Every structure is written in structure tokens, then in C-alpha cells.
Chain A
Amino acid sequence: MSAAEEIVTEAPAVEAVPKRAMTLGYGTSLAVLAALIIIPLFVKNFIIFQMTMLLIYALAVMALNILTGGSGQFSLGQSAFYAVGAYTSAILMEHAGMNYALTLPIAGIICFGFGFLFGQPALRLSGVYLALATFALATAMPQLLKLGYFEHWTGGVQGLVVTKPDAPFGLPLSQDMWLYYFTLAVSIAIYLASVNLLRSRSGRAFMAIRDNEIAASAMGVDVALYKTLAFGVSAGITGVAGGLGAIAVQFVAPDGYTIQLAISLFLGMVVGGVGWLPGSIVGSAFIIFVPNIAEGISKGLSGAVFGVLLFLVIFLVPHGARQVAIVAQQLAAKLKKN
């Protein structure tokens, strides 16, 4: 029986994104970076705080993007990893008196391990089943955090208060501004590392699995290892974002990390464009600001306004911000010619 005739066609969960298209050009990257560095100097503290959250969610969205856009797996459980990261940082800071910056790599490593382990049973699941499994994780996490056994560490339902760090070396920066630049530095480091990861051997392995698992294994890619690895990396980055989030919000509590967070992160990824890492920041902006805008338009119908805006996005630009970027690029190229 020949190869072509028996294929059970199935729409791919993720549209294949070529490796080059996953990142931004040099010039654009620098422009965005410059904007991110300069803007905070001119705005109020509350807006700086919001920009910090923007970066943090962008990291979490990017982590999901690596998992979904990179390796084709799907997770509704990102809020659980985010929570573990947040609690790790909070507990280490408040109970062990550790420096906030040091807690982040630990949060990342713990989440990496957690994600790697969770990836093991997830190996056998795909599509809706994986969605359900990760969903279970996300719903279980707040309840687990509330459990009496851990109350001494987690503070139970009450949660933990986290102290906001001051700028080091006597720099003349407000707490908010320092935290913003700190977050920015961490985000850039992780972004660059992720881009390199996806361009490396491992990245190619991820994408081979995403596009055709069986073919990938036939070429000698250790599918099981790379799939769990993708889960681990994604969880690790989410954990770091969670840790940063805990520091920025100065508070952790079980109800801050419900399934709603996971759904938001998922929406962020879709709006930003699946598989396009720079889109993460656009997606993050969507999930932070659009609910506010919706509330501003109509208090009683904020959910409906949010839904309508979301529909507008997926109708007009079904590939999210990536599509906008591509169109913009083509326009720019046209202008240059004329």
C-alpha cells in the first residue's frame, strides 16, 4: 500500500511557522527595545507597574508559545506553573529571607522539573485530552495551595505578602521603576535564550515534532524526550514569570492563579500569533488592557464587549499580530520601491 493514499487528513492544531518567521528583524527589535527603555522615564508609577505586568505576562505567553508554537503541544495549565513559580519566590523571600533576584532561577528550575515530570504522562495524550489534563492541573492548583498541610508555608487562603525590593547600589530610581528595568533585563535575557533555543538543534527537533511526529521519530528525534523537554522549558519560563509577578504584585494568594489566568495566557498567545515570539508582548497587552477598555465602554456588558473585540481580532487577523507584522513589512517594502 503506498504512502499517500491512506493519510487520515486532520487539520493541524498549529499552523507551521518557519523558523525565521518566529522572530523580528534586527532594526525592529532595537526600536521596540528603545521604546521599552525610554517610555517609563516619562510616565506615572501606576503605568510603570502596568508595563511591568505587561512584560511579565509577555514572558508567560511566550513560554506557552514555545510549547504550542514550537512543539505543537497545547496547555491550559500554565497558571499552575505560574503559581508554583510565584509561591517559590514568595516563600524563599519571606521565610528564608533570600534575595529576590536569587529566587527567580530557583523558581525557574523547580518549575522546569515540575513541567518535565508533568510532561511524562502528558506524552500519551494529545489534542483535547491534553487540554483536559492540563486543565485539571490548573483547577487543582489553587485548591492544593489552600490545603492545611502547607498552610505554614503558603499562608493558606490568606496568601503571603511579599516585600518590594529597593533599587540596589543607591540608584536614584523608585521601587517601581527599578523593578521595571529589572524585569526588562530578565525578559530580554529569556527572550534571547528562547530565540537561540528555537534556532538550535533542539529547536529543530521541537518543530519536527510539531509538524510530523512520526516522521520526526523516523529521523531519529527522541520524541518523548523533546516533548517533555518542551514542557519543562515552558514551565520553567512561566515559573520565572510567576516569581517576577509575585514580586511586582507584592502578594501571592491561591485565588490569583485560577484557570482564568491560564485562559488569559492562551488568548494572549492566539492574539499575538501562535508561534511568533515577539507577538507575545502584543498578546500580553491584549489580555491586560482590553478587559479595562471593555469595562470603560460598558460596565454591565464588559464581558460582551471583550468577547466582541476578541471576535474582531480573530476575524480580521486570524493569525494575530504576526499577520499585522507581515502586512506592515510588505507595505514598508512597497514604499521603499516607490
Chain B
Amino acid sequence: MELFANQVLAGIATGAIYACMALAVVMIYQAIDHLNFAQGEMAMFSTFVSWQLMQWGVPYWGAFVLTVAFSFAAGIVIERLLFKPLAKAPILTNVAGFIALYAIINSVAGLIWDFTIKQYPTPFGSSPFLGSQLISTHQAGMIGITLLMLLLLFFFFRFTRVGLAMRAAASLPESARLVGINTSWMIALGWGMASAIGSIAGMMIAPVVFLEPNMMLGVLIYGFAAAVLGGLTSPFGAVMGGFLVGIFENLVGTYIPGVGNELKLPIALALIIVVLVVKPAGLFGRAIVKRV
């Protein structure tokens, strides 16, 4: 039983990483109805920017704020330059665009900062949290930040006019335009916010997985899985999905014999698919009822 509890705790610690990323995934999905495959790379690039700022002597929180601001702006610029012209193109063309963006960012980051692994600092320290060896103060801090972001997003979407307008633009663009919402800019704003959230996720994750251009690849896959599991329409679901995937993965690795590190991911994904077959909108998502 103690082993079980420990594994669950360890799962929550890794799950925090996925939850962070899943939040960014849901954000962009709300805004543009797509999964952005380049999101992990955008977050990685932002994290490198913050690292560079710190190398130049900017203190941690200063770099943190500057990076979030930079990412927000960069997200909007990317949308305006590259994806606004594709708004009317078929979905598959957009997906190809994401893959192209992925290749570009990955390659540019590799050229600027090369592919060696770098240490990344944490503002929370890395001593055991509350005397537990399984969860460090950094991981606890990361969980705290994730929950804080979730809370802020909830208030933003529920109680601000801009949040309401963004939701309207995402759910029914034609009607949103009729009431005078500039839907095009709402999408850009969604990109900016998703990029900013992604940068926070990146800066939280980097101390755990180390900083390098390919650091986000695995994380993004888990982030997608978590978001889909929790329900792509629900930020709360995405965060819960993140923790669940983390726990899941740890338990599978512990209790099913013959599952090495390599089979953890496929098994976790397979179980998620089983969940989806039973509950297609995800655990916490709202079912979209289509009438014809």
C-alpha cells in the first residue's frame, strides 16, 4: 500500500509537467480549434530566451516576466504572419503549417544555442517537499503555479468581457461578428495567451528535464494526451488529465511486468484511447451535440 501511495505521489509530481503543457494546449484549442504541434517548440524557444536573459545577468523573476511578455507578443506575430493567411485553408493544410513551424523553430534554436544539455535554475529550490523524498519543492511550486494559472484562466473566461468575447468567437464566429466582435484578433489573442502559458510551462519544466532543443517533444505528446483525456474544452479537465496521465504512467510502470520505460508511453496512450472510446468528449469535457 505504501508503494502504491508513493507511486501515486511520484505520478502527481510528473503529472504537474503534463498538466502545465496541457493547459497551453487547451488554450490554443479554444482559440483556433486545432492542436498546435509546434506549441512545444514555441515553449522551448521561450525557455531558451529566459535562459539567455539570465546568462546576461537578469534576475530570475525579471527574466520570467520578460519572457512571458516576449512569448505573448511572439505568439501574436506568428499568428498574424503565418496562420492568418491560412485561416480559410483546409485543416490538413494548417496541420502541415504547424509541422513546418516545428521544424523551423527546432532548427533555429539548435543553431543559436546548440544541442548540448543545459542546467536550468528553479526559483523554488529542490530540497524534499514536506520531508517527502518523492516530491521536491520545485515540483510543489510547479503544481502551485499550474493551479494558479488555471484559476486565473477560469476568472478570465468567466468574468471578463474579453474572455467572453473570445469564447464567443471560438464557438460561433459568424454570430460573434454580428454582435461586433473582431474574431480575427480574438484568434491572435488566443495564440498570444497560449504562447505565454506555454512559456511558463517551459520554464517550470526545464529544471526537471534539462534545457535542450528537443526537451519538449515527449512533454508535448503527454500534454496532448492529458488535454484530450480531460476534455479539450475544459482547462480544469486538462490539468486533471495531466495529473491522471502522470499517475497512470507511474502505476503502469510499477505494476505491469515487462513494461520498460519505452512501453510506458504507448500503454498510457492506449488506455487514454480506451477512455475516449467510452467517453468521447473526455472526462471533464462538455459533449458537443450536433444536430443536422
Question: Min CB distance, B260 to chain A, in Å?
Answer: 8
Minimum CB–CB distance from B123 to chain A (whole Å) comes to: 32
B280: CB under 8 A from chain A?
A: yes
Question: B45-94: which residues lie under 8 A (CB-CB) from chain A?
Answer: 82, 85-86, 89-93
* A13, A15, A143, A266 interface centre (most CB from chain B within 10 Å): A143
The count of residues in chain B whose C-beta lies closer than 8 Å to any C-beta of chain A is: 44
Q: Let me know if A304 and B288 touch, CB within 8 A.
A: no
Complex alpha-carbon distance, A100 and B234, angstroms: 52
Chain B residues with Cβ under 8 A from A3's Cβ?
A: 292
Contacts of A121 in B (CB 8 A): 273, 277
Among the 9-residue stretches B16-24, B107-115, B198-206, the one with 4 or more Cβ atoms under 8 Å from chain A is B107-115
Q: Which of A6, A9, A271, A307 has the most CB of B within 10 A?
A: A307
Judge if B161 is at the interface, Cβ distance under 8 Å. Answer: no
Query: Is the beta-carbon distance between A311 and B225 smaller than 8 angstroms?
Result: no
- Is residue A223 contacting chain B, with contact meaning CB distance below 8 A? no
Minimal beta-carbon separation of A226 from chain B (angstroms): 19
Residues from chain B with a CB closer than 8 A to the CB of A305 are 107
Check if A23 is an interface residue, CB within 8 A of chain B: no
Distance, CA A125 to CA B232, complexed state (A)? 14
Give complex CA distance A133, B266 in Å: 10
The residues of A that contact B147 with a CB separation of less than 8 Å are: none
- Smallest CB separation, B100 vs chain A (Å): 4
Say yes or no for A300: interface residue by CB 8 A criterion.
yes
Say yes or no: A11 contacts B91, CB within 8 Å: yes
In the bound complex, what is the Cα–Cα distance between A318 and B82 (angstroms)?
13
Q: How many contacts between A and B, using CB within 8 angstroms?
A: 136
Task: Describe B's contact surface by its main secondary structure.
Answer: helix
Measured CA separation A305–B108 after assembly (Å): 10
**Any B CB within 8 A of the CB of A7:** yes
Q: Given that A14-B90, A128-B35, A270-B96 are known contacts, is A135 also in contact with B280, CB under 8 Å in the complex?
A: no
C-alpha spacing A12/B93, complex, angstroms:
12
Number of interface residues of A (CB under 8 A): 50
Contact of A310 among B86, B100, B110, B276 (CB under 8 A): B100
Does B90 contact A15, Cβ atoms closer than 8 Å? yes
Q: Is the CB of B276 within 8 A of A314?
A: no
In the complex, A62 has a CB within 8 A of chain B? no
Interface string of A285-305 (1 = CB under 8 A from B): 000000000000000111111
B270 is an interface residue with CB less than 8 A from chain A: yes
Is there an interface contact between B272 and A307, defined as CB atoms closer than 8 Å?
A: no
In the assembled complex, the Cα of A13 lies from the Cα of B104 at a distance in Å of 25
Q: A129-B228, A136-B266, A136-B270 are in contact. Are A8 and B290 (CB under 8 A)?
A: yes
Residue among A74, A136, A139, A308 with the highest chain B CB neighbour number at 10 A: A136
Q: Are B103 and A307 in contact (CB-based, < 8 A)?
A: yes
Q: Which residue of B lies closest to A264 (CB)?
A: B99
Given A136-B270, A263-B99, A308-B100; A300-B110 close (CB under 8 Å)? yes
Q: B224 at interface (Cβ–Cβ under 8 A)?
A: yes
Q: Give the contacting residue for B93; candidates A7, A270, A303; CB below 8 A.
A: A270
In the bound assembly, the distance between CA atoms of A12 and B89 in angstroms comes to 10
Cβ contacts under 8 Å, A214 to chain B: 292
B227, chain A: closest CB distance, angstroms: 9
State in angstroms the CA–CA spacing of A131 and B82 once bound together.
Answer: 23
Q: From residue B48, how far is it (CB to closest CB) to chain A in Å?
A: 15
24 contacts between A and B (CB under 8 A): A8-B291, A13-B90, A124-B276, A124-B280, A132-B224, A132-B225, A132-B276, A135-B221, A135-B269, A139-B269, A140-B265, A146-B262, A300-B107, A300-B111, A303-B104, A305-B107, A307-B102, A310-B97, A310-B100, A310-B103, A311-B97, A314-B93, A314-B100, A318-B90
Binding site for A on B (CB under 8 A): 35, 82, 85-86, 89-93, 95-97, 99-104, 106-108, 110-111, 174, 221, 224-225, 228, 232, 262-263, 265-266, 269-270, 272-273, 276-277, 280, 288, 290-292
Q: A139-B265, A143-B266, A307-B107 are in contact. List 4 more A-B contacts (CB 8 A).
A: A7-B291, A121-B277, A143-B262, A314-B93
Closest 5 CB pairs of A and B: A303-B107, A140-B266, A136-B269, A307-B104, A307-B103
